[in-house]
Structure 1
Amino acid sequence: MQKQDTNFLQRIAAGNKIEAPKGGSLGDSLRCAGEAVPTGYRNELMRLVVVFADSELAGAAGFCPFINRGPGVRERIVAAKIVTEKYVHAEMALTLLEPFGVNPMLYVRSHAWDSRLDRHIDLGTRRIGGDKRLNVFHYPLEGWEDAVVFNMLMGAATAIQLAEMAQSSYAPLAAAIAQILPREREHAQLGESGVRQAIEQSGSKVAAQAAVNYWHPRVAATFGRVDSDHAATYIQYGLRRRNSAEMLGDWKAQSAAALKRLGLTIPD
C-alpha cells in the first residue's frame, strides 16, 4: 500500500469526511482534509452507488406491471407509491454520479431495466454482464402474492444494506441515504401488510409460502460472499461499517420474525 493510501485510511478512521468534487466536474479531485483521495476510493464509491442506482431502476421497472395486479384500489395506490419512490431513489443516486461524468438521461436509456432471466435460473452470488443490478432483480415476479412477498423480504434487506451507508465517509452519499432509508424501511412494512392481506383474502397461505420458498435464498444472496474483496474494501474506506455476514445475520433474524407473524416458515 502506498503512503498516500495509508495516510488517507488514517484520516478516514479519524472521522474525516469527503465532500463532492469542487465545481462538480469530472476534472476536479475528491479531497479529504485537503488531500486528494486514492483512485481506489473513487472507484469503489462509484461502484457502490451504481449498484444501488441500477437495482432501484430494475426493481421499479420489474414491479411496475404489477400495479394493476393489486386486488383493490388501495393496494394499487401502495404499489404505485413504491414504484415512484424507487425511481426517486434512482434519480438521487444518479445525481451523486454526475460529478464523475455520468449523464443521468443517457444512463437511464442505456439498459433494459425491465429485462429478466428465466425464473428457474439461480445465479447465487455469481455476477453476470450488463448493468450492475443485484442478482435478485434479474428474476421475474409471478403474481401478486409473489410480488408482495418479494417486497417484504427485499425491502428489509435493502434497509439493512443502506443503513451501513448512512454513516458513509462520502458526505453526499450519507446525506442522500438519510432521506432514502426511511422510505425503504416503509417498503418492507408495506410488503408485510400486503402479504397479510393476500393471505386473508385468499384464505390460504400456500401461494405466500411458495413465494417465500423461492425468494428467501435469492434475497439472502444479495449480501454477497462473506470473503468478498469489495465488502472488505468498503469497510476499509468507510463506505460501510459491517461485513456481509453481520448484515445477513440481521436480515435472517428480521425476516424470521416477519414470517412468524404471518404464520409462514423459513425454507430449508
Structure 2
Amino acid sequence: MAEDMSIESYLAAGGVLTNPTNVPPRYRAELMKLMATFVDSELAGAAGFADIINQGPGIKERIAAAKIVLEKTDNADKVLSIMGEFGADTGRYANHHPWTARLERDADIGQTRSEHDMRLAVFNYPLDGWTDAVVMNLLMGRAVAVQMAEFSMVSYQPLAEAFRAIAPIEARHAELAEEGVAKLLDSSDKAAVQASVAYWWPRVAASFGSETSSKAEALKAIGLRKSGNAELKNRWEAETKAILENLGLTAG
C-alpha cells in the first residue's frame, strides 16, 4: 500500500488486508458481522438438520445427511478460527447460543434476526420432516452458492481463502439436495414437495436482505461486497427456478 494512500482508498482500489493489525475499526465491525452471520447460520443450520438424520428413508440418505451436518460444522469452524484472530472466544462459541432454537412453523419474521445470535432469519424456522428438510436444503443450498461466489472475493484475504475452500463443499450439499428432491418426486406425493417449496421460497429469498438497502454501497467501498442484494437475489431466483422447473416444480 502506498504511503500516501489511506486504507479506505486502498480498499476502494481493490486492495486486500491480510491480518488484524492493519484493519480499521469500521472495517473490523463489518467483517466480524459477516463472519458471525456465516458461522451462526452454519451452526444453526447444522443443528436443525441433525434432528432430521434419522428420518432419512434409507441408510445412504442418513449417511449423506450426517455428512452435511459434519461439513457445515467444519465450515463454521474454519471461519470461527479467523474470528478468533480478532479476539472472539472460540472455546465458548459453540455452546454460547441455542442453535436448535426455532420459532413456530407459521411464524413470519421476514429478515429479522434471532435475539440470541446472528443467524439468518431462515434458520429460525423448523424443518417438518425429511421431505421438507431436503427441499429447504436445495433452496438454501442454491442461495449459499450465490453467496459463496460473492464472499470468495472479499478484501480480507484469509477469509476469502476460507470461503473459496468452503464453496465447493456447500455446492455439493446443494447437488445432493437436488438429487434428493428428484428421488422424492419418484417415490412421494409431488404435492408435499411443492408445498415445501412454497413454504421455503420466500423465507430463503429474505436471506438476501432488503433490495433497497444502501449499506451494500458502503461495503463495496471497502471490498466486502461486489454486488447489491437485489442482484444476488435475482441471480438465485433465476438459477433456482431453472432447477425447479427441470424437476417439474414451480418456484414461489
| Alpha-carbon distance in 2 for matches of 1:231, 1:14 | 17
| Aligned twin of 1:26 | none
| Aligned twin of 2:69 | 83
| Aligned twin of 2:56 | 70
**Aligned residues of 2:98 and 2:116 also touching (Cα < 8 A):** no
| Aligned twin of 1:111 | 97
Structure 1: segments with no counterpart, 5+ residues: 1-5, 22-28, 32-36
For residues 152-211 of structure 1, the C-alpha deviation after alignment (integer angstroms, 9 at most, x for no partner) is 000010110121111110001011001000011111111111111111112x31110000
Q: Which amino acid aligns with 1:205?
A: K
Q: Please state whether the residue corresponding to 1:114 is helix, strand or coil.
A: coil
| Alpha-carbon distance in 2 for matches of 1:128, 1:151 | 20
Q: How does 1:1-268 map to 2 (within 5 A)?
A: 7-21=6-20, 29=21, 31=22, 37-202=23-188, 204-267=189-252
| Alpha-carbon distance in 1 for matches of 2:114, 2:43 | 17
Structure 2: segments with no counterpart, 5+ residues: none
1:16 offset after TM fit, Å? 1.8
For residues 109-140 of structure 1, the C-alpha deviation after alignment (integer angstroms, 9 at most, x for no partner) is 11110110011011112334110000000000
1:38 offset after TM fit, Å? 2.5
Which structure carries more relative contact order (alpha carbon 8 Å, separation 6+)? 2
Runs of 4+ in 1 over 2 A off after TM superposition: 6-9, 227-234
RMSD of equivalent CA atoms: 1.5
| Alpha-carbon distance in 2 for matches of 1:43, 1:214 | 34
What TM-score do you get using the length of structure 1 for normalisation?
0.90
1:57 offset after TM fit, Å? 0.3
1:230 offset after TM fit, Å? 3.8
For residues 21-40 of structure 1, the C-alpha deviation after alignment (integer angstroms, 9 at most, x for no partner) is 3xxxxxxx2x2xxxxx4210
1:229 offset after TM fit, Å? 4.3
| Alpha-carbon distance in 2 for matches of 1:61, 1:180 | 18
How many residues get paired?
Answer: 249
Q: Once the two structures are aligned, what percentage of the paired residues are identical?
A: 48
